[in-house]
Amino acid sequence: MRMCVFGALCFIILGTSNLSGNASLDYILKYKDIAIEEMHQSGIPASIKMAQALLESGAGKSTLAREANNHFGIKCGGQWTGGTFYREDDDYHKGKLIESCFRKFKNAEESFSAHSDFLVNQKRYAFLFEFNSKDYHSWAHGLRKAGYATDKAYPQKLINLIEKYKLYELDDGYSGEIIASVESNNQNQKSKSRSSSKKKNKDSFSIRGSKKSKSKRSSRRKKSSSKRKTSSSQHYHIVEDNESLRDIAKAYKLNENALRIRNRLPKDAEVLAGEKVYLRKKISLLRRPEFIRVAEGNSIASTDYIF
């Protein structure tokens, strides 16, 4: 199984002047909370997830997004047993282009969750979780290095989207600037609509005054929005007696594999009571909690884990 990267779609989004700011902002507002929730569960920056979703789905307007709720172009793979959607992409048989099998989801939430599982559960992406959760530049370049995309410009396209729409705010669980951008954009649209019905010789001064007042209002909104910024979630958990890492992951609604990677724990390791398990930040091997090796029943026993 691998991800599909829509080269033509990427070009439409970032390489032309037809990009609809309204459509992209509406898409961000619609799915930002899902991206933030997935970030807390998997450790994948919400800015990266949202930028990839925008890029792969064309702000939700691609055929896959509309007809299969597939916002990341995830192909079926050998173990997929859910719904399917077929369309031509980049698969060939005996030199002839054939239809590729893509996963079909019930809703967008399933697609966002599947994207998290894809990155968390494949070893080639494990090194990404070494990066700071706010270092979207490293994540963007790392995705291409790991083979997520073949397009050399893919990292920069993600970075451009993140900076254009201030998606880095999502990494703090916050979106005040994004909402302010939507409000500002809506006001500009209304202003243009009103001004188009007036005579040009009476508009020049009033338009300049309107822009100044909008700028002041926008500035006030940004300042007040920054005051509403919420505090970060709990950063660590102290292990209790007879408490497993799976119990901790479930309690905080986190992905167990992501929690292991974050704390540099082998697959067959269980943390000891009293140890500190980090829930949000990445730690070094020197700081990982004390643990014991466990190989019971059907559990996965392994002495190696890519950190």
Residues 152-209 have pLDDT tens digits of 999 999 999 999 999 999 998 776 666 666 656 666 665 665 555 555 555 544 444 4
Q: What residues of the chain score a pLDDT lower than 50?
A: 1-21, 204-232, 297-307
**For the whole model, what pTM was predicted?**
0.58
Residue ranges per domain, the chain?
7-172, 236-293
CA distance 148 to 187: 38
pLDDT value, residue 30:
93
Residues 173-199 as b or e (16 or more Cβ within 10 Å = b)? bbbbbbbbbbebeeeeeeeeeeeeeee
CA 15, CA 190: separation in Å to the nearest integer? 27
CATH level 2 (architecture), domain 7-172? Orthogonal Bundle (1.10)
In this prediction, residue 91 carries a pLDDT of 64
What are the DSSP calls for 230-242, one per residue?
Answer: PPP---EEEPPTT
pLDDT value of residue 53: 96
Which residues, in sequence order, are CB contacts of 235 under 8 Å at separation 6+?
Answer: 278, 279, 280, 281
pLDDT at 181: 62
Q: What pLDDT score does 230 carry? A: 32
